[in-house]
């Protein structure tokens, strides 16, 4: 891989690291800058429509988790370049969310596309979360976020 492509790869990895850190630290203005203006995010329950647009994504996620203690981790990125300015990636993930009356641990994958913007910076252009497992003391949370678990009867 040529040095420029390696630099792009590293920038995309750092982008995703900022995504997790800024979200968990609730730095919403800075967090919004990791997305393209027209980004599409499908990171809630299966079947829910995606949230489209940077401002809408920030507002949606802020409302959902601003009151929670959250920890998000992304691991083992698989990133491929579609062109000089477009890439796609899959990240293994773990998240933990806690608030009064709410607890959830989840495992799965982020499926994303990235685009180099006019300012030369890479940003997330689309993000879709698929879950392999959800644990919660609340069965309704498990059923909502991971309906496959109901079929598997893992709890």
Tens of pLDDT, residue by residue over 110-148, are 999 999 999 999 999 999 999 999 999 988 887 877 777
Contacts of 80 (CB under 8 A, 6+ apart): 87, 88, 89
Tens of pLDDT, residue by residue over 35-60, are 999 999 998 777 889 999 999 999 99
**pLDDT score, position 145:** 78
The position carrying tokens 């698989």 is: 78
Task: Judge whether 147 and 134 are in contact, CB under 8 Å.
Answer: no
State how far the Cα of 39 lies from the Cα of 54, in Å rounded to an integer.
Answer: 6
Structural domains present in the chain: 3-152 (3.10.450.50)
Contacts of 96 (CB under 8 A, 6+ apart): 70, 71, 104, 105, 106
Q: What is the 3-state secondary structure (H, E, C) of 13-38?
A: HHHHHHHHHHHHCCCHHHHHCCEEEE
Which tokens in the block code for residue 128?
């879709």
Please give the model's pTM, rounded to 2 decimal places: 0.92
């Amino acid at each position: 891989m040529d040095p420029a492509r390696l630099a792009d790869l590293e920038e995309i990895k750092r982008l995703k690291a900022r995504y997790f850190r800024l979200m968990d630290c609730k730095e919403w203005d800075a967090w919004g800058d990791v997305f393209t203006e027209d980004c599409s995010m499908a990171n809630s329950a299966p079947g829910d429509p995606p949230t489209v647009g940077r401002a809408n994504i920030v507002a949606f996620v802020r409302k959902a988790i601003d009151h929670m203690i959250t920890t998000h981790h992304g691991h083992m990125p698989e990133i491929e370049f579609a062109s000089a300015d477009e890439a796609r990636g899959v990240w293994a993930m773990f998240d933990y969310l806690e608030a009064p009356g709410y607890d959830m641990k989840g495992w799965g994958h982020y499926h994303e596309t990235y685009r180099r913007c006019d300012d030369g910076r890479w940003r997330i252009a689309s993000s879709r979360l698929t879950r392999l497992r959800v644990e919660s003391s609340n069965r309704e949370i498990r059923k909502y976020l991971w309906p496959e678990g109901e079929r598997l009867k893992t709890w």
